Structure 1
Amino acid sequence: MHDSTADALIVGAGPYGLSTAAHLGNLGLDVRVIGTPMEFWDTGMPRGMFLKSEPFASSLGAPVAGATFTDRHPGWRAGRPIPLRTFVEYGRWFAETHVPDTEDAQVVRVERDDRRDDYAVELSTGEVARARAVVLAIGVRAFAHTPAELAALPAELATHSVAHRDLSRFEGQDVAVIGAGQSALETAVLLADAGARPQVLARTQRLAWNAVPVPSPSLADRAVRGPHSGLGRGYRTWIWSEHPWATRLLPDGARRHLVRTTMGPAGAWWLRDRLDHRVHVMTGRVVTGAEEAGGKAVVATTGREGDRWEHKVDHVIAATGYIPDLDRIGILAPELRERVRLTHGSPVLGGYFDSSLPKLYFTGLAAAASFGPVMRFVHGADFTARRIAAHIAARAKSGSVSSKSSVTRADDARDAPPYAGTTPPG
């Protein structure tokens, strides 16, 4: 039981939460981290998965040297994919080393007390913790997007890819995987490895694959093609990856387009050879509906020429990404959600990831609408952590009681989702 009011309480112990906590602790602030380190990565990702990001871009953010992934694994060079288990172990080592006091509990509700200028946070233990600032580092689980066309299927016949850690349950079954990105393609391969009969239904006319990385490009090659960054290769990519603050300078529509089109659905280069004859791939198929028939799922698709197919399978897995939507963050009290200024379902953030509510911060995918596509990946954690920690520390020192966030008026439209098809950070 904690009797005092913490300087900050972080909801979530994934890469963004742990990184932010490490920076806050280094500044001497009293911080509480609620959550099991790397829990989502351990339970929300399938066994046998590899990270899509390169080793140098798979690090949590620490305020001291020696804590990157390649510091922990110096032999891991570009072009060698990282197994999920190795990354989870790295994240837990980071927690033990830099954030040793995480609390194995869940946040049930977050409320604000304007009179005290702090937050009351109810925990699953029954405690009501108090904190001057709250950082929502909740990851992507709450934002899992399943197309409306699958809504008629019961839960036992249709799930999102985030629901599956162990795909062996589908051994001997016909499984339709919806999507064309890394999540869909790797899920299909892992299903085949588990003895299932997967088929990929992709709306794209052909699958896209990421290029094989060049470990040591020449000076001329770097000059022409641009530098390497956490998001890939190229000058613009380098800006969005290494200087996310620049994204906030763009108009809202330009930011949405950037997030929607940067790092679109594609498979990792190392997965291409594993997507073999065991996986039936059908491109150019748009899912138009689905229904249950005789205990099976029947998925209707339409092709480019208007031809209609029905795919009868034992199960459907929607590997269709994540769409940020504040209303799906159920731990926020309704009155808090109403006070957070939004743009297309995402919070409008100031330069330090601060929302329109005093000292309420958002990280990861929820921050992509303000800081761009790098927020979809682990690589954005260090920049995020440094900005948030600096802001909270400055306010703790000054005793400021109100947010001075530089935010602009934003439309709360819920029209075409801008992030469909994105993959979890990493």
Structure 2
Amino acid sequence: MPKRTDLLVIGAGPYAYSAAALARDNGIDTHIVGHPLAFWREQMPADMFLRSGPDWHLDADGNFTFEAFFEDREMRPEDFNPVPIAIFIDYAEWFRERTSLEVDERLVTDLTKPSGVFIATLDDGSTITAEKVIAVPGICYFANLPRWHADVPPTLRSHTSELVGFEDLAAARVVIIGGRQSAYEWAALLCDHGAEQVHVVHRHPIPEFAKVSWAFMDPYIDQTLAQRGWWRRLSAEKQHRIASEFWRAGRLTLEPWLVPRLATEVVTSHPNCAVIDVLPGDQDVRLRLSDQRTLIADHVIFACGYKADLSRIPYLRSVSHQVSTTDGFPDLTDGFETSLAGLHVIGFASTRDFGPFYGFTKGCPSSARIAVDELMRRAA
């Protein structure tokens, strides 16, 4: 017989862990499916560092925090500054163990709602029937690329979410398109692995490299919890002011620990520039810039971030026509519910309606709290 559950959580990353653990702890029969932390393990470099610190965690109840993990492992947070990605993965798995959260490692290939309940078809052909669904689509679906990217041969191009190993680019000439944290961190990783040349091309001035505090987000998260729909009820002016504050800290300022790794004899920045022409060859590609310089690259890396587009989610293709969207983002209620009753979406795809904080792990506990409170309110 097909498995039945009250709540199906699709995804097995930090946001999914937070929501599934809290839902189950509040008496909701919950089933979570997905490859555990697949994006973190497979689409982020093993030797990269996080911009966040030990105060960001997954537990909406505040018990199994990142700081509690350090204490349990008898490690000092100050010895891991910046935080290696491997340490955060260890924490997330520790959180899963401590909360006794079992993850079904099959994948959902299709989701339908034929008669009032959801039916999820899995990659082995079996199905799960659920009253409610929380979907946490990973940002790998949303890789943003410039229009001209297709002019670069597929073998000579990668998005940062695809390029996580750098050994094959030792002694290579690489051009990175983009100028934020991922662009310069990938440049540093290329230096670490012996690239010959790295050119970083971006439309804006060179960012500042300085330590910033992310504490400015705390009151905004608190407001989101205290007042349902807080972000969407702000005036456009206030949203812009907060987004600009977030942009200054998270985008215009990059981590200072990158600087000593950006070898000056290898890395060249091209600020206030754009690519205006592409001349592909068999083994390399020539990029003509708006300042009339031409760069020759063995590989082009697109560090252009992510852009929401719910139509890219394969398992939602059967219900996508029932989900209202704006600019690719699902239109959400104050409880993260889409226009398709019972389907909730959290994580990056919720940032238009809940604020930019929900594209970072900082938003995990509060999004779990809001979504689960909504589920319980509807069930009451």
Change (3 A) 1:333 1:205: closer
> Which whole-Å CA distance do the structure 2 matches of 1:376 and 1:363 have between them?
9
The letter for the 2-side match of 1:109 is: D
Tell me the equivalent position of 1:202.
202
- 1:132 aligns to what SS in structure 2? strand
Aligned mate of 1:293, from 281, 289, 293 = 281
Q: Is the 8 A contact 2:2 2:127 kept in 1?
A: no
4+ aligned runs moved over 6 Å, structure 1: none
> Which whole-Å CA distance do the structure 1 matches of 2:166 and 2:209 have between them?
24
The letter for the 2-side match of 1:183 is: S
Aligned mate of 1:72, from 64, 69, 74 = 69
The letter for the 2-side match of 1:296 is: D
Q: Alpha-carbon deviation of 1:272?
A: 2.4
Tell me the equivalent position of 1:216.
none
The letter for the 1-side match of 2:276 is: T
Q: How does 1:218-367 map to 2 (within 5 A)?
A: 232-234=214-216, 237-244=217-224, 245-251=229-235, 255=239, 259=243, 262-263=246-247, 264-277=251-264, 278-302=266-290, 307-334=291-318, 336-367=319-350
Change (3 A) 1:289 1:53: farther
Q: Alpha-carbon deviation of 1:126?
A: 1.0
CA offset digits 1:115-168 (Å, max 9, x no partner): 3x2111111121111111111112211001111122211210111010022111
> Which whole-Å CA distance do the structure 2 matches of 1:175 and 1:168 have between them?
13
Unmatched runs of 5 consecutive residues or more in structure 1: 214-231, 399-426
Change (3 A) 1:260 1:290: farther
Q: Alpha-carbon deviation of 1:319?
A: 0.8
The letter for the 1-side match of 2:97 is: E
TM-score by length of 1: 0.81
What is the aligned-residue identity percentage? 28
Q: Is the 8 A contact 2:310 2:329 kept in 1?
A: yes
Q: Is the 8 A contact 1:109 1:121 kept in 2?
A: yes
- 2:87 aligns to what SS in structure 1? helix
- 1:96 aligns to what SS in structure 2? helix
Q: Alpha-carbon deviation of 1:5?
A: 2.2
> Which whole-Å CA distance do the structure 2 matches of 1:363 and 1:333 have between them?
18
Q: How does 1:365-380 map to 2 (within 5 A)?
A: 365-380=348-363
The letter for the 1-side match of 2:58 is: L
Q: Alpha-carbon deviation of 1:47?
A: 2.1
The letter for the 2-side match of 1:180 is: G
TM-score by length of 2: 0.90
Tell me the equivalent position of 1:385.
368
> Which whole-Å CA distance do the structure 1 matches of 2:99 and 2:12 have between them?
12
CA offset digits 1:161-205 (Å, max 9, x no partner): 100221112111111111111111100100110111322112212
Change (3 A) 1:315 1:261: farther
Please say which of residues 21-30 and 164-173 is displaced more in the overlay: 164-173
Tell me the equivalent position of 1:124.
123
- 2:278 aligns to what SS in structure 1? strand
> Which whole-Å CA distance do the structure 1 matches of 2:242 and 2:122 have between them?
37
Q: Alpha-carbon deviation of 1:250?
A: 2.3
CA offset digits 1:225-260 (Å, max 9, x no partner): xxxxxxx254xx444344334212125686478557
Change (3 A) 1:327 1:3: closer
Change (3 A) 1:85 1:163: same
Q: Alpha-carbon deviation of 1:269?
A: 2.4
> Which whole-Å CA distance do the structure 2 matches of 1:61 and 1:82 have between them?
18
